A and B are shown apart, each in its own frame.
Chain A
Amino acid sequence: MAADPASLIDWGLLALDPPGWGGVLLAGLMNSIKIAIGGYSLGLVLGTGGAFGKLYGGPVTKDLMEVYTTVVRAVPELVLILLLYYAGTDLLNRLASAAGYGAVDISGLAAGIFVIGVVQGAYATEVIRGAIRAVPSGQIEAARAFGMSPLLILRRVTLPAMLPHALPGLSNLWLISTKDTALLAVVGFSELTLVTRQAAGTTKAYMLFFCAAGVLYLALTLISNLIIRVIEARARRGWVATR
């Protein structure tokens, strides 16, 4: 029979202490955030390298980067996560045993960060490449004419000048990476989505837990949006006059 809505919701299930599952959900959220931050940082490093390879590298580097970004952007994240997760751990294990360390135990956290980072790197490559191309080439040429070394140009001119152009794309990527962590539930890493499903399956309160997890993800997105807005305002502080 249809129960009345008030008795359908048992808020006690969300309590932080063990009879409730609130603490478990928050731990899952922390895991998700850790992976998102780690994967995003790795993605930024890969993306910067990839963008410079695509713009200034030799013909072979350019083509290899093109293959990397094309393949990663054309294959579903879920498939990539499975492939990289199994292939990565397998490869690392073989390397370790070849080096004589025996089988190493790769933590789910490290594997997750690696997987998200490789996926994010492909997207970040495209974003950063577009942003660097938006920087007037005269600025970079001027820096070169002053005799700056490539690394100094990167640090003093290219990166600061391209940042405002890259920020919209990069902030979008951050939001994507927080949501991509949910896919790690498929390989059994206990981040927020998987934890939610376990809690829901145990207590049969599916609606309550999935909605609660949705609220947590949404809060993460909205708070990120606030921070992004502040960062964008700061990065563009010199723009108003020139625009």
Chain B
Amino acid sequence: MTSEESTIVEATALTRLPSARGLLKPHRLALMAVAAAIVFCAVWFLRWDWLPDYAGRLANGVVVSLLMLVSTCLLGFVFAVPIGLVQVTGPWPLKLLAKGFCTIIRGTPLLLQLWLLYYGLGSLFPQFPAIRQSFLWPWLREAWPYGVAALTISFAAYEGEVMRGAFAGVPPGELEAARAFGMSRWKVFRRIWLPRAVHRALPTLSGETVLQLKSTPLVATITVIDVYAVVSKIRQMTFLTYEPLLLLALIYLCLTAFLVLAFRYFENKIPTRSA
């Protein structure tokens, strides 16, 4: 079951990059020449004179997108661990709750969840004076907390499912050995179960993080100014259809490549016995 799930995630998420070796085969050189010609045409025939004016805002947008990505991944992972754990070992009400949460979040589009939180809760909160007077109110009037909440919930649900498989996949003999050494339940969890599960989940974590990066532009629909929103703004101001979008695709390609390379670096740092 677990191996099956991991292959699904691998197939739907980008985890591999073409290796640098073998780039110098003749047909690749020809293809690269064609690609270079296309890039040259794009630079030469399309309009890029707006780029310097908006470079600062674009950089800001990239930073906002990355902040969204990092904060929601970290927060989401913190929630994912208990969600995965109770599905493996918890009492049945918690198990049911976690399973229901995962099913509901994974069964509905993220865009809908985002709009439900932003428009739904955002229209509900002002009706309660207690919330209006609380110290949270200045934040609740902004858009980004709703974006962070929606992305965190989504990441927690998807990664919780992965963690469930990872927790269940740790060989029971290792846990029994730890118990036989007289470790307490908490110590077994902290020293054996969690590290082994995280280790098993690491390859899929890279794919999930790329998927999360790809869902960050959705927050632009609730007025968070990320790089997607900046590009939409540029498109409105300059009446250009393709150039800003192509630049945006290029930015996301670079970000994804960077993420994949970073994860590969860290994965290589962790010693694994190849089975």
Contact = CB atoms under 8 A, between A and B. Distances in A.
Contact of A3 (B127, B213, B245, B252): B127
Nearest to A210: B116
Nearest to A200: B119
B248 A79 contact: yes
Interface stretch (B83-91, B102-110, B133-141): B102-110
B214 A218 contact: no
B112 A213 contact: yes
B175 to A, nearest CB: 27
Given A2-B127, A123-B12, A127-B12, A214 B4 contact: no
B210 interface: yes
A77 B210 CA distance: 12
Given A168-B4, A214-B116, A173 B12 contact: yes
A74 interface: yes
A78 interface: yes
Nearest to B111: A182
Interface stretch (B23-31, B50-58, B165-173, B183-191): B23-31
B192 interface: no
Contacts of B210: 73-74
Interface string A55-75: 000011001101000110111
A31 interface: no
B12 A75 contact: no
Interface in B228-248: 228, 241-242, 245-246, 248
B12 A168 contact: no
A63 B27 contact: yes
B249 A168 contact: no
A75 B228 CA distance: 12
A207 interface: yes
A79 to B, nearest CB: 5
B25 A59 contact: yes
Contact of B115 (A1, A63, A193): A193
A206 B123 contact: yes
B245 A75 contact: no
Contacts of A139: none
Contacts of B18: 66, 70
Interface in B62-112: 103-104, 106-112
B16 to A, nearest CB: 9
28 contacts: A1-B129, A2-B128, A2-B129, A59-B27, A70-B17, A71-B249, A73-B14, A74-B253, A74-B257, A78-B228, A79-B228, A86-B241, A123-B11, A168-B5, A175-B106, A181-B109, A182-B110, A186-B221, A193-B109, A193-B111, A200-B120, A206-B124, A207-B124, A211-B116, A218-B107, A218-B108, A221-B108, A222-B103
Interface of A: 1-3, 59-60, 63-64, 66, 70-71, 73-80, 82-83, 86-87, 90, 123, 126-127, 130, 168-169, 172-173, 175-176, 179-183, 185-186, 193, 196-197, 200-201, 204, 206-207, 210-211, 213-214, 217-218, 221-222
